[in-house]
Amino acid sequence: MNPVLKRWKRSSLNWLAINVFGKLILPLLVRTWKVETDFPADWLARAQAGERILLVFWHNRQIGFLRLASPLRPASVLVSQHGDGEIITRIMARFGLGAVRGSSTRGGTAALRKMIAATRETNMAITPDGPVGPRYEVKDGIISLAALSGQPVFWVSWSSDRVWIFNSWDRFMLPKPFAKLQFHATGPMTIRQSMKAEELADCRLELQNRMRQQTAALDEAAGLNVDPILRQR
């Protein structure tokens, strides 16, 4: 394809994603979702009282966070530096969410420094298997952030029997109009900066296993086929 035409096509698709899907379609879609929650009694109260928290959820279920954004504000999301990250950043802004640009593969160290500073002012939301996977695998970044910031970690997931599942690396899930989403959140996990490398590795594996168990139970209850990865320990 001609380079000029390729850039025009990319620019047009970005404009449609931001101004048509992000501004018009997505807000309407989100408002049709019916939500049921199973949350710790105090976790939202702690966030609303000014105690900053770290919230983690799988990359393929990040769109569900839009339904939790209001009570968690101020909140910011770690967003990749690649081109699609700009689209996500601008869509998140329409829902009152901030963004810290970076990832474990591009700008990870700089993003970690920015996120440590940001935890003093805002709740942070992270997809620990993003931006490129492997799916349902917790990376070291969230463990480092929790240890260095001193913030407690809560993990949240959701499922629904009315979803579109895309053929992407993460098998991205988009609830259909009027879908009922069942949310579950638990925690906290406190990770101390004084922990040794082996203890931090154990925390990463424990968080991964708990998140997988949580999501497998939700998918099973919704009648979805449970991803075999979620059964792995």
The predicted-structure confidence for 141-179, as pLDDT tens digits, reads as follows 999 999 999 999 999 999 999 999 999 999 999 999 999
Average pLDDT for 192-211? 97
More confident residue, 233 or 33: 33
Decide if pLDDT at 107 tops 60: no
pTM: 0.89
Q: Where are the beta strands (DSSP E) in 49-107?
A: 54-56, 75-79, 98-101
Task: Output the average pLDDT for the chain.
Answer: 87
Decide if pLDDT at 203 tops 90: yes
Quickly state the pLDDT bin for 44 (edges 50, 70, 90): confident
CA–CA distance, 76 with 96 (Å, rounded to integer): 9
Quick one: pLDDT at residue 168?
93
- Cα 9 to Cα 3, 83, 102, 233: the distances in Å are 10, 14, 25, 43
